[in-house]
Amino acid sequence: DIQRVTPWTAMLTAIFAKASVIYNPIVYGLSHPHFRSSVRQYLSACTTAASAGHGTTASLMR
């Protein structure tokens, strides 16, 4: 029955659905070990390049 759905409920479900853009990558990253290790490797390369003074991430994308 459409009259039982309040505007608050409709808004809350829409916000939850749109927020999936934010929480889906987090859930994916936490549940896939290969993805986690790739992110760690990339972040390690970024911090190594930054501390070595290279400063650009374009060389890391190769």
**What is the 3 state secondary structure string of the chain?**
CHHHCCHHHHHHHHHHHHCHHHHHHHHHHHHCHHHHHHHHHHHHHHHHHHHHCCCCCHHHHC
The number of folded domains in the chain is 1
User: Can you give the residue range of the structural domain that contains 18?
Assistant: 2-49
Assigned domain for 62 exists: no
Assigned domain for 56 exists: no
12-60 per-position pLDDT tens digit? 999 999 999 999 988 988 899 998 898 889 999 888 877 776 555 555 5
Assigned domain for 57 exists: no
Position with higher pLDDT, 46 vs 1: 46
Entry pTM? 0.42
Assigned domain for 60 exists: no
